[in-house]
Structure 1
Amino acid sequence: MPDELRLFADYYQIHLFDEGSVTDLGEVWTEEAMADQLAVAEDAVAIGTAVNVFVEVAIEVLDRAPADDSADFDHVVEGSVEIRSGRLVVMGCTDFEPDAARFTVPAGWLRVRVAKSNLEVAARLGIDSDEDHATTERIRVQVWPAAPTPLVVLKQWAHR
């Protein structure tokens, strides 16, 4: 069962990183990363969101790669991150880090699959999207041990 979080996606992003990381994710937000909706550094990733309000985030720590269910989502992207400490921190980018959610994960390289849904209605409603579960952007994050491989977009959502 995934852990459910409600996070403020300030600056249109959510951060996942190794506990103790000092990576500046601002340096990896390239035009390509913005299109992919995932900015990747060695020990941290930033997930781009369609809205600048609260989003629902489900975290699943797995022991192996999950089945591909990208047909059920609007946008799906995968990247690799090294979590040396075995503690994955998940937070909105302006949240107070000591209060952020932490998850025990296998230490070392992890694959991160980000699957996002409800993007069209959330983007259309903007700041009002988080007032109802039916219109809130939803993000599922799955992580599992895997050797590092390049970022891949499994399904692309194009905001209209």
Structure 2
Amino acid sequence: MKFNLDFTTDYGQFYICDKNFLGQTDSENFWTDKAYDNKIAVENGILGIAIGNEEGIVKCEFEILVSRNLKVDFNDFDHIVEASLKIDSGFFQVLDCPNSEVQFQTEVENGEFRARIYSRNLALAFDENPQDSYLIQIWKEEFSEPIVLKRFSVI
């Protein structure tokens, strides 16, 4: 299943989470220096996704996959990161920041999921019309530590 999301957020981030997440987004363990570098923050049942533009514009494709996508196009994206997320409520949500307004919700089977976040056009995020965009893919998979598959660096 594929969905297109277009919304605004603040503080350069939005969230993907379990509907009844227990993690604290204001925890000192959420947006650590490493999380900022990796463009993803991890807490119990919630992931913080960093965006490039300061306008708070989020243009995002969201896909629920049957299994891990093994064909990653590293050339089309600037930054690619993965992290695990446990769903206990049966609902997966995308929330803005800081209001945590639901931008998208879908029913899923409870269990452990892996999320891969692709960021593109990060170098154009600060143009007059920001062009950064995001692709989120999730699939069922056992928990594993976050990993950066491709790191964006400003040249």
User: Could you tell me the TM-score, scaled by structure 1's length?
Assistant: 0.87
- Is it true that 1:120 corresponds to 2:114 in the alignment? no
AA of the residue aligned to 1:13: Q
Q: Is the 8 A contact 2:7 2:57 kept in 1?
A: yes
Partner of 1:89: 93
1:10 aligns with 2:10: yes
Q: Please give the alpha-carbon distance, in whole angstroms, between the structure 2 residues aligned to 1:102 and 1:159.
A: 34
Is 1:69 the equivalent of 2:64?
no
User: Does 1:105 find its partner at 2:108?
Assistant: yes
Residues 35-50 of structure 1 aligned to structure 2 (within 5 Å): 35-50=37-52
* Structure 1, gaps ≥5 residues long: 130-134
Instruction: Provide the identity percentage.
Output: 27
| Aligned-partner residue type, residue 142 of structure 1 | Q
Q: Is the CA contact (8 Å cut-off) linking 2:22 and 2:44 kept in structure 1?
A: no
Q: Is the 8 A contact 1:38 1:48 kept in 2?
A: yes
> What SS class does the counterpart of residue 125 from structure 2 fall into?
helix
Question: In 1, Cα distance between the equivalents of 2:141 and 2:106?
Answer: 17
Q: Which amino acid is the alignment partner of residue 39 of structure 1?
A: A
Structure 1 or 2: more helix by fraction:
1
Structure 1 partner of 2:25 = 25
Structure 2 partner of 1:132: none
- Paired with 2:100 and 2:116, the residues of 1 have a C-alpha distance of 25
**Which residue matches 2:57?**
54
Shift of 1:107: 1.1
- Between the two proteins, the alignment pairs up a number of residues equal to 151
State yes or no: 1:147 paired with 2:142.
Answer: yes
Q: Pairwise CA RMSD of aligned residues?
A: 1.6
| Counterpart secondary structure, 2:26 | helix
Query: Which stretches of structure 1, 4 residues or longer, exceed 6 Å deviation after superposition?
Result: none
